């Protein structure tokens, strides 16, 4: 029976050796970095998918900007770059998400910001145009309930040898019956005219005005190929005494000083 005892001891020794080897291998694996999962940010970035782009919204954008999608951009990355960087669309909207078509500017209680925007975007080859949109059939009279103005800058753009338009909606609903807001609007019109921008008056229904106000869409009335329907430039004014808040717009001397600081005081309105 001695051979049986040897067999038992050999099995025990083999089990002990196997346990030691397993323990050492486990310790080594514990100190090795995990392999990156497919698509993880730690993996090969060259394998990441391009940003998604909604084809219908891309077509809607280029059509609204007066461009032809054919030959404009070939890949989703190029289309996203054109749509966001050159045409000013919100990237989330272009991806089909629940977002406004355009991010909006705001000059509410900040007339100097309007002057800075005009100065930064003015280009003699691509002159800015300012559209003043009021409700259709509603006169700009303080006694009229719906009398109001919403503004939108427009600038020509060139994309792949095509000539189109970029829109800059402003999310301020200037109520004409509230003198401080009326004066803000008048001063923005005045700054644009002094800087040499063409100021165009158009009108549309209230639904379109609210969509423009929120950047959801640019109404058809803002058509750079058509003429205005009311003389918006005639409503430009550097300032006057108004009832109510006075710190939401500039005093006349402040606005004229701002115009001078921008070098616009020697420019014939609309002729820069």
pLDDT in tens, 157-214: 999 999 999 999 999 999 999 988 999 999 999 999 999 999 999 999 999 999 999 9
The region of weakest confidence among 35-44, 63-72, 212-221 is 35-44
Inform me whether the pLDDT recorded for 265 exceeds 90.
Answer: no
Inform me whether the pLDDT recorded for 243 exceeds 70.
Answer: no
Q: Report if pTM > 0.85.
A: no
The structure tokens listed for 85 are 């960087």
Query: What pLDDT is recorded for position 3?
Result: 41
- State residue 123 phi and psi, 5-degree precision: -150, 125
Alpha-carbon 271 to chain mean position: 28
CB 158 within 8 A of CB 233: no
Alpha-carbon 260 to chain mean position: 30
DSSP string, 195-240: HT-EEEEEEE-HHHHHHHHHTS---TT--TTS--SB-GGGG--S--
* Digit-coded pLDDT (tens) for 182-194: 999 999 999 999 9
Query: What pLDDT is recorded for position 253?
Result: 87
pLDDT band at 233 (very low <50, low <70, confident <90, very high): very high
**Rounded (10°) CA dihedral 223, 118, 168, 139:** -60
Question: Can you tell me the mean pLDDT for 209-220?
Answer: 97
The mean of the pLDDT values for the chain is 82
Query: What pLDDT is recorded for position 242?
Result: 55
pLDDT band at 25 (very low <50, low <70, confident <90, very high): very low
């Amino acid at each position: 029976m001695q051979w049986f005892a040897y067999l038992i001891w050999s099995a025990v020794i083999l089990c002990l050796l196997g346990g030691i080897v397993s323990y050492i291998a486990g310790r080594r694996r514990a100190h090795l970095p995990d392999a990156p999962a497919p698509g993880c940010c730690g993996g090969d970035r060259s394998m990441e998918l391009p940003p998604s782009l909604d084809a219908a919204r891309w077509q809607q954008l280029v059509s609204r900007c007066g461009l032809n999608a054919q030959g404009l951009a070939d890949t989703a990355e190029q289309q996203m770059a054109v749509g966001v960087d050159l045409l000013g669309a919100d990237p989330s909207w272009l991806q089909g998400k629940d977002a406004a078509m355009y991010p909006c500017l705001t000059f509410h209680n900040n007339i100097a910001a309007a002057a800075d925007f005009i100065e930064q975007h003015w280009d003699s080859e691509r002159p800015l145009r300012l559209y003043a949109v009021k409700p259709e059939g509603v006169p700009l009279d303080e006694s009229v309930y719906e009398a109001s103005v919403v503004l939108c800058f427009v600038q020509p753009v060139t994309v792949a040898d095509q000539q189109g338009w970029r829109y800059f909606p402003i999310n301020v609903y200037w109520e004409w019956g509230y003198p401080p807001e009326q004066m803000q609007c008048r001063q923005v019109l005045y700054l644009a005219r002094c800087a040499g921008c063409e100021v165009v008056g158009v009108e549309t229904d209230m639904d379109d005005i609210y969509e423009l106000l929120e950047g959801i869409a640019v109404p058809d009335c803002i058509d750079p190929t058509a003429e205005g329907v009311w003389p918006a430039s005639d409503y430009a004014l550097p300032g006057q005494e108004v009832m109510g808040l006075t710190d939401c717009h500039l005093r006349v001397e402040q606005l004229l000083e701002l115009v001078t600081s921008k070098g616009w005081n020697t420019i014939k309105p609309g002729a820069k």
